[in-house]
């Protein structure tokens, strides 16, 4: 049975019974530099929420949790991470 929020993975000529859960890919403790490199669409999404993660062409040094604590409008990092994962899933980057 497929776990909630998971996608079926097919590799090569055989279908592998492996489930990959994309919702757990990004956590509040992800390094911002790694986040923007892996998911460039996250840059604009976060900026729309007051969290600017690129300054002078360089990503913020630290975790998403630290950045959100300093710049988030509502400070709810857990909800932010859930919404970001949903956005990236819909954008094809999750």
- For 1-94, list the strands marked E by DSSP: 6-11, 14-21, 54-55, 58-59
pLDDT, residue 17, reads 40
pLDDT, residue 93, reads 77
pLDDT, residue 46, reads 92
| Rg value, the chain, Cα | 15
Q: Which two tokens stand for residue 66?
A: 């630290």
User: For helices 64-71 and 77-90, what crossing angle results, to 10°?
Assistant: 110
Which of the residues in the chain have pLDDT under 50? 1-24
pLDDT, residue 39, reads 92
pLDDT, residue 94, reads 65
Do 7 and 22 meet the contact criterion of CB atoms below 8 Å apart? yes
CB atoms within 10 A of CB 86: 14
């Amino acid at each position: 049975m497929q776990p909630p929020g998971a996608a079926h993975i097919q590799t090569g000529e055989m279908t592998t019974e492996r489930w990959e859960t994309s919702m757990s890919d990004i956590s509040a403790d992800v390094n911002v530099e790694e986040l923007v490199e892996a998911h460039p669409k996250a840059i604009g999404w976060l900026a729309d929420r007051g969290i600017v993660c690129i300054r002078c062409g360089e990503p913020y040094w630290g975790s998403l949790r630290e950045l959100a604590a300093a710049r988030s409008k509502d400070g709810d990092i857990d909800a932010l991470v859930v919404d970001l994962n949903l956005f990236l899933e819909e954008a094809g980057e999750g």
